[in-house]
Amino acid sequence: MKAIKYIMVVMMTALAVVAMGQKKGVSNAQLEKQVIGKHMLSLQWISWEKFGTCDITKEATGRLRCVGAQYSDENDDYLKLDGYIEIVSAKHLRFTGTIKTKVYHLNNGEEYVREGTFDFKSTQGRRYWREQEMKGPDGVTDYVDIYFKR
């Protein structure tokens, strides 16, 4: 009898963990409304005064597409995003795709390409999601920010 109770508790716990994991990645209509649209985009090496833009759209498949860029007015530096967004929560987006940066004084002025999954989080009351995997070329810290819509 004790063994059966133990097995039931273990199974119920496992099911609860699975259910919580599924709910965590599900985006509801309100969150999508906050995320879908045009956002300002920045990389601190380029400018925090002249922003780029990032468009997040919903494809027919239901996936959220994210394409954006910021270009320097002073040289040929840029930031480019191309991929997909998963809404983890209102303060946490998960981007899967490619992030390209070109900054004249980093990586010998050559393009730096990162591919994979990157977490963007809004912390400390900030009005933007900041990429959490901040290590850029030459070991510097890159601040890639996607701003909330106004």
Q: What is the pLDDT along the chain (150 residues), one digit of tens a residue?
A: 554 443 343 344 333 333 333 445 444 899 999 999 999 999 999 998 999 999 999 999 999 999 999 999 999 999 999 999 999 999 999 999 999 999 999 999 999 999 999 999 999 999 999 999 998 889 999 999 999 998
Q: Token pair of 30, please?
A: 């309100």
Report the C-alpha gap between 146 and 33 in whole angstroms. 15
| Bridge partners for 21 per DSSP | none
Q: What is the pTM of this model?
A: 0.80
| Start-to-end C-alpha separation, the chain | 59
Q: Dihedrals φ, ψ of 95, to 5°?
A: -100, 130
Report the C-alpha gap between 33 and 29 in whole angstroms. 6
> Which has the closest alpha carbon to 67: 76, 79, 49, 50?
79
